[in-house]
Amino acid sequence: MSNTSVEQEYRSLLPRLLGLYPRVVGDPAQRRIRQSHAEVGHVAHGWYMRCHRGVLAVLALEAEGLQVEAAPIRRSVVEHVVALKWLAEQGAVVADILRRGAARDADRRKAAVKAANWTSVDMALFDAVIHDAQGLDPQYDTLLSFKHRCDRFGTPHDWTTYLNETAQSHPSWESALPYLDITSGRPMARTTPAPAFDQAGFCTIHLLEALICISQIIDSDYLGAELGEISPITEALIVRQRLEQGLVIPPELQRAQEEQSASGAHPLGRTPPECSN
C-alpha cells in the first residue's frame, strides 16, 4: 500500500483533472457537441464551468483555512454536478424545462423588484423571459426542484452531501456550531473553526463526475481516454479511504472493481460513489 495519504493522492489528481476541459475547449477537433445535445451545449459549458471554478474557489478558501465557510460553494458544486447528470441523460429535452424555470424565476424577481420599488431595473427584461416560455408544456416542471432532479438523476450521496452543506449555509445551530467549543458542556465562543478538514477528496470526486457528464455531451477522444485512466484510480482511492475508516464498500463500487478487473475497461457512463465526509 502507498505511504502517501489518500488526501494527498486525491490532491495529486486535481491538476490533471483541472487541465482537461480547458484543453478540450481550446481544440475545435475535441469540442464536438453531440447532436443529441446541440441545443443545450452552451448550458453544459456554463454548468461545467460553475463546477470547475467552484472547485478552484473551495481550494482557495481551504488554503486560507476557510473550509467551513466554503459550504455554500460546495453545495453549488453538488447542485451543478446533478444538473449535468440530468443534461447528459436527457439532452435537448432539458431546454424547454429550463425556459419554463427561467420564466418562473423572472416572474418572481419582477414581483420582488416591484415590491421593493427598485426603479433602476428594466421590467421589459423580465417580460421577455416570461414571454419566451409561453405555451411550453409544464409536465416536467418538477425537475426544476433539486430534490426531484436528484431522486431521478443523482444518487443518495448527492442528496446527503447537499443536505449537509445546506445545514452549514443557512442560519441554524449547525452554522453556529463550528465557532463554539462545547466540550465542557457549555458553549464557549471561539473564532477559528476546528478541526479543519481536507477538501481534495470532495473536489476530485465532484470534478470527475462533472467531466464524465461532459464526456457524454462532447464527442472528444482525448477526454474519454483521460477519464478512462483517471476514473479507476479515483475509485481505488475511494475504496482505500473507506477501508482505512472502517466503512462498508458500497455494492456498486465492489461491482465496478470486479468489472474493471475482468475487462480492463471502465464504463464512463457511471459516476464514482462519494467518499465519506
Structural domain contains residue 275 = no
Structural domain contains residue 274 = no
Structural domain contains residue 272 = no
User: How many domains does the chain fold into?
Assistant: 1
Q: Which helix (H) or strand (E) holds 181?
A: strand 180-181
Structural domain contains residue 1 = no
Q: Which of 249, 208, 260 is nearest to 230 (CA)?
A: 208
Distance CA 215, CA 255 (A): 22
Distance CA 109, CA 237 (A): 44
The pTM for the full model equals 0.89
pLDDT tens, position by position, 176-215: 999 999 888 889 998 888 777 889 999 999 999 999 999 9
Structural domain contains residue 164 = yes
The domain containing residue 240 runs over which residues?
Answer: 6-263
Structural domain contains residue 41 = yes
Peptide bond into 195 cis (omega under 30): yes
pLDDT at position 197: 81
Q: Which residues contact 106 (CB under 8 A, 6 or more apart)?
A: 126, 129, 130
Say if residue 225's pLDDT is above 50. Answer: yes
Residue 249 binned pLDDT confidence (cut-offs 50, 70, 90): confident
Say if residue 224's pLDDT is above 60. Answer: yes
Residue 3 binned pLDDT confidence (cut-offs 50, 70, 90): low
Structural domain contains residue 271 = no
Within a 10 A sphere around the Cβ of 21, how many other Cβ atoms? Answer: 22
Helix (H, G, I), strand (E, B) or coil at 125: helix
Structural domain contains residue 57 = yes
pLDDT tens, position by position, 147-163: 999 999 999 999 999 99
Say if residue 276's pLDDT is above 50. Answer: no
pLDDT tens, position by position, 35-93: 999 999 999 999 999 999 999 999 999 999 999 999 999 999 999 999 999 999 999 99
Taking CA atoms, 98 is separated from 53, 80, 262, in Å, by: 22, 14, 41
pLDDT at position 271: 55
